Amino acid sequence: MPKKIDNYNAILLVDKEAGMTSHDVVAKLRRIVNQKRIGHTGTLDKAATGLLVICLGRSTKTSQFISDCDKEYIAEIKLGRVSKTYDAEGVDFETKEKDCSSITIENIKAVIETFVGEIKQQVPAYSAVHVNGERLYKLANKGIDVDLPEREITIHSIELMDFSDTTLKIKVACSKGTYIRSLANDIGKILECGAYLANLQRTSVGNLSVEKSLTISEIENLVSENKLEDKLLQFNEVVTYASCAVNDDFVDSIYNGKEIIKEYIDTVYEEYNAGDKVAIKDLNGNVLAVCKAEVPSNLISNENEQKLFSYIRVLN
């Protein structure tokens, strides 16, 4: 087998099919594109489908910024039974399903509205989160009970798309770190009938949509036709921070992490405040680094030797 190299330095949108882990997708793509550096920006459960953002080559250094983006999901939640994993895999179908005939659309709408906003969400017992140095799902499989950690998350909106028989379909816009499985379980608790996540599709990450993603087989065909490059995205198309361009003479200084002063700056493209993330680009629009602004954009011209930015990540 030929030695793997970085054939691509860009971002690829994949439409993950059910039954594959996010790691499975990365492993398969590594072989298809013969790529050394490759990784995803946020795990999807094995049973889930939808948008998985893949970073190739130098773009793997941008994954932390993409994973910070808000997400959108379409979820099908089944009422009447509980699940130890909060999804279909952990349901004991031998137990009798609870009667949900008295639950109305009005009940559903009232309950889901209580989750909108900044909330604390308990991490599922069957998850990859570490507690006491071991992943929770391993502890759960051993029958070891631990206090499940809570996370502060934001659910921006929940739209009830359909409610039929004992299945409700919702669209959820939320912050990173949100477990839709936990949301399904919590809805069942409030309704006092039990509920689990039956199906899940991730439809967007930030401004990226599953509609523009590719299946594994489509990617394989594009690689064989040498056309994959046309479908790849650059970092500034994915994460739209305010940006500054540096003069060509100082590009290497950015790559070497040298302190950025007024002399380096050629153009300020958008306004920003102190503390904001800013993309530092070359004059061709290539992102060299992501930094935290130490002074607002309107004061750059007033500074002489003061440090203008603190580096978060250099993307060389």
Alpha-carbon dihedral 292, 294, 296, 298, rounded to 10 degrees: -120
Cβ atoms of 236 and 243 within 8 Å: the answer is yes
Helix axes 105-113, 180-191, angle to 10 degrees: 120
Can you point out the beta strands (E) in 27-129? Answer: 38-40, 49-56, 71-79, 117-122
Q: If you ran DSSP here, which 8-state letter would residue 289 be given?
A: E
45 is catalytic: yes
Selected catalytic residue, list 6, 15, 24, 45: 45
CA atoms within 13 A on the CB side of 87: 16
Q: Which helix (H) or strand (E) holds 158?
A: strand 150-164
Measured distance between the N- and C-terminal CA atoms of the chain, rounded to whole angstroms: 28
What does the alpha-carbon distance between residue 237 and residue 177 come to, in Å, rounded to a whole number?
23
Pairing mode, if any, of strands 195-205 and 49-56? parallel
Amino acid at 82: V
Of 216, 171, 201, 173, nearest in space to 13 by CA: 216
Report the SS3 class of residue 127.
coil
CA distance 12 to 184: 30
Rounded to the nearest 5°, which phi and psi values hold at 115?
A: -90, -10
For the record, the structure tokens of 277 come out as: 């993330």
**Which residues are catalytically annotated?**
45
